[in-house]
């Protein structure tokens, strides 16, 4: 049992302590604009193994290497012209680019889980970027939750899953985007959407001037991303596209919906998908603590609705 401290992400003391834990091969929960990540030195297999162990994560699922700029990204992966264009448009921000790993890239095999590609993201997070710069190394960071459970968008959510397991959580309040990064795989002229997320398909397609190709889901090779069909799951059972809940069901709603007698969490009374994404995991956790079954209103499929519906489908999948 480790005692877990929570410190403000801006405090010099918190950052110093995070730096020394990371240098020693440990892991620290660090806020990002999407969700909180469980960061470790991506060049150290010992450190990455610590993260897998803390999360109880199946070892075939590779991690994202976080960087603090284009130069570090270029030292790790081959950026095609289209990948460069996407990076220049959306970094720092909620876009992860999977691309061929460079031969001399300094990154542990445990980060790629043995693949010849690597997922890289430059997050819009002062704490994460400061730590990467101070270590002068990429930080690998999956979401800071037990594998398969709901991603954390607040320090308290990290504590719920990982208190007593990790030494330090840096706290920067609620993650503004609230769903994980969009993951695209680029190779030559091809750009494949592997996971919808914080940057919408529409924005990416506008930059490409083309439609994104769909990621092929191969069940025998779940190393393509977030593709385990049951994921992000609360303990409660979810029922999707419900306009009025049954007795005893909690209600996760969107827009101007009718009242319910049971616990109710509205993702956005104004029907704003950006607000809804930022509150999605928080709402799922809040209802999960209050009911065994959760009904979910229909949510539009466009814009950030694609990522929201993706997370809801996975949360509702049989476990
Ligand atoms: O917003 C985010 O992306 C957050 C924050 C902390 O950056 N991170 C995150 O990491 O969501 P994680 O580990 O929960 O999800 C990363 C996904 C996994 O589903 C993994 O399978 C996929 O990325 N992935 C990583 N490397 C890959 C690769 N080389 N090829 C295909 N998929 C990959
Ligand atoms: Mg995750």
Task: Kindly tell me if the per-residue pLDDT of 259 is higher than 90.
Answer: no
Closest atom of ligand 1 to CA, residue 228 = 19
pLDDT at residue 215 in the model = 78
Q: What is the mean pLDDT of residues 66-72?
A: 98
- For the chain, give the mean pLDDT: 92
The answer, yes or no, to whether any atom of ligand 1 lies below 6 A from the CB of 64, is yes
Closest atom of ligand 1 to CA, residue 118 = 29
Predicted structure pTM score: 0.90
Pick from 1-10, 48-57, 262-271, 281-290: least confident = 48-57
Model confidence over 186-235: pLDDT tens digits? 988 889 999 999 999 999 999 999 899 887 644 334 444 455 556 667 88
Task: Kindly tell me if the per-residue pLDDT of 288 is higher than 60.
Answer: yes
The answer, yes or no, to whether any atom of ligand 1 lies below 6 A from the CB of 273, is no
Q: What is the mean pLDDT of residues 115-128?
A: 96
The answer, yes or no, to whether any atom of ligand 1 lies below 6 A from the CB of 152, is no
Q: Predicted confidence band at 160 (pLDDT cuts at 50, 70, 90)?
A: very high
What's the 273 CA to ligand 1 centre distance in angstroms? 22
Model confidence over 38-54: pLDDT tens digits? 999 999 988 998 999 89
Instruction: Decide: helix, strand or coil at residue 30.
Output: strand
């Amino acid at each position: 049992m480790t005692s877990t401290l929570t410190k403000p992400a801006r405090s010099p003391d918190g950052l110093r302590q995070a730096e020394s834990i990371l240098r020693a091969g440990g892991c620290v929960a660090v806020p990002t604009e999407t969700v909180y990540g469980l960061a470790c030195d991506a060049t150290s297999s010992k450190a990455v193994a610590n993260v897998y162990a803390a999360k109880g994560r199946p070892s075939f699922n590779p991690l994202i290497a976080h960087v603090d700029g284009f130069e570090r990204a270029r030292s790790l992966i081959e950026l095609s012209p289209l990948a460069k264009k996407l990076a220049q448009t959306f970094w720092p921000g909620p876009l992860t680019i999977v691309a061929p790993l460079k031969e001399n890239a300094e990154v542990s095999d445990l980060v790629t889980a043995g693949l010849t590609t690597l997922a890289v993201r430059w997050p819009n997070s002062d704490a994460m970027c400061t730590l990467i710069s101070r270590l002068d190394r990429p930080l690998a960071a999956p979401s800071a939750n037990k594998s398969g459970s709901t991603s954390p968008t607040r320090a308290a959510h990290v504590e719920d899953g990982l208190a007593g397991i990790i030494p330090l959580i840096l706290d920067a309040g609620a993650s503004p985007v609230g769903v994980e990064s969009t993951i695209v795989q680029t190779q030559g002229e091809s750009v494949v959407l592997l996971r919808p997320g914080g940057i919408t398909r529409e924005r990416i397609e506008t930059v490409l001037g083309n439609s994104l190709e769909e990621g092929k889901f191969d069940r025998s090779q779940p190393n393509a991303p977030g593709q385990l069909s049951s994921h992000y799951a609360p303990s409660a059972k979810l029922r999707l596209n419900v306009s009025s809940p049954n007795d005893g069901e909690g209600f996760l709603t969107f827009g101007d919906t009718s009242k319910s007698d049971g616990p109710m969490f509205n993702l956005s009374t104004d029907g704003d998908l950006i607000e809804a994404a930022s509150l999605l995991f928080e709402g799922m956790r809040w209802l999960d603590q209050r009911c065994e079954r959760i009904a979910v209103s229909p949510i539009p499929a466009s814009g950030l609705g694609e990522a929201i519906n993706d997370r809801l489908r996975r949360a509702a999948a049989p476990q």
